[in-house]
Amino acid sequence: MRSRRPWLRRASVTAVSATALVALAVPAHAATVPGTSAPATTSTTATALTTAAAATTAGTTATAAAAAAVDYDTWQRDCRAVMDRALPQLTQRIANPRPGEKQAIVLDIDNTALESDFGFSFPAPANEPVLEVAQYAQERGVSVFFVTARPGIVGAFTEYNLDHAGYESAGLYVRGFLDLFRNVAEYKTAQRADIEAKGYTIIANIGNNTTDLSGGRAERTYKLPDYDGRLS
């Protein structure tokens, strides 16, 4: 049985990385030691890194307290059941496009397109039931877009991971700085609206969280299991 890698741990790592980057980016003239003209960059960086270390400890503690085992085989079986239901419907829809229609499918990433919470590896492997449906659609001219709540700082790594896992991405949407302060469901709905504005008809939206699927902008939605939030 594979052990899952909870989202809280990945979130804390991302937060720590961002804090460290901000600390390193502080210019020398941004602060000075009181009573002198000497830059306080070293002091500022040390403070930021101390804060980051505290965040790591807190994140690890929270993860240990919140973690609940999710059986990998059960998860795969449940994902397969959803995709087995989706494929006949998508097969029929793909075979009957409207005149001039550009069809698209939207996928969430963590524990939808990729096995993000199982094991600890980079690049993360594909969630096979979802990959099979995506490849079936792509072979028939359907574009596959990815809409994720991941921050833009990991965009390049995410693109590489998707390609390595076997996906052909027509577009990857990650959160910019201001998006981090938006409601996730609203953010994801806006990205689907952008895909539609490019002339695509979203025939399916697949995710494992209600924030992936709410807000419309898709003909059909398919929800993978998240076991009451135990998977990200």
Which helix (H) or strand (E) is 79 found in, with range? helix 72-94
Candidates 70, 148, 76; CA nearest to 109 is: 148
Check residue 168 and give its pLDDT. 97
Is the CB of residue 137 less than 8 Å from the CB of residue 90? yes
Please report how many Cα atoms fall inside a 13 Å half-sphere around the Cα of residue 18, on the Cβ side. 14
Q: Assign 168 to helix, strand or coil.
A: coil
Helix-helix angle 72-94:128-138, to 10 degrees: 20
| Weakest mean pLDDT among 47-56, 111-120, 141-150 | 47-56
Residues of the chain with pLDDT > 70: what percent?
A: 70
The reply to whether omega before 27 is within 30° of 0 (cis) is: no
Is the CB of residue 195 less than 8 Å from the CB of residue 202? yes
The arithmetic mean of pLDDT across residues 27-41, rounded, is 38
Taking only the tens place, the pLDDT of each residue in 44-100 is 434 443 444 444 334 333 333 333 578 999 999 999 999 999 999 999 999 999 999
Is the CB of residue 187 less than 8 Å from the CB of residue 210? no
User: Other C-beta atoms within 10 Å of 176: how many?
Assistant: 12
DSSP assignment letter at 98:
P
Can you say whether the dihedral through the CA atoms of 220, 229, 68, 180 is positive or negative? Answer: positive
105: left (phi over 0), alpha (psi -120 to 50) or beta: beta
Instruction: Provide the token pair at 145.
Output: 């877009």
Is the CB of residue 26 less than 8 Å from the CB of residue 44? yes
pTM recorded for the entire structure = 0.73
For the ranges 3-17, 32-46, 47-61, 126-140, the one whose mean pLDDT is highest: 126-140
218: left (phi over 0), alpha (psi -120 to 50) or beta: beta
Instruction: Note the maximum CA span of the chain.
Output: 75
Is the CB of residue 122 less than 8 Å from the CB of residue 156? no
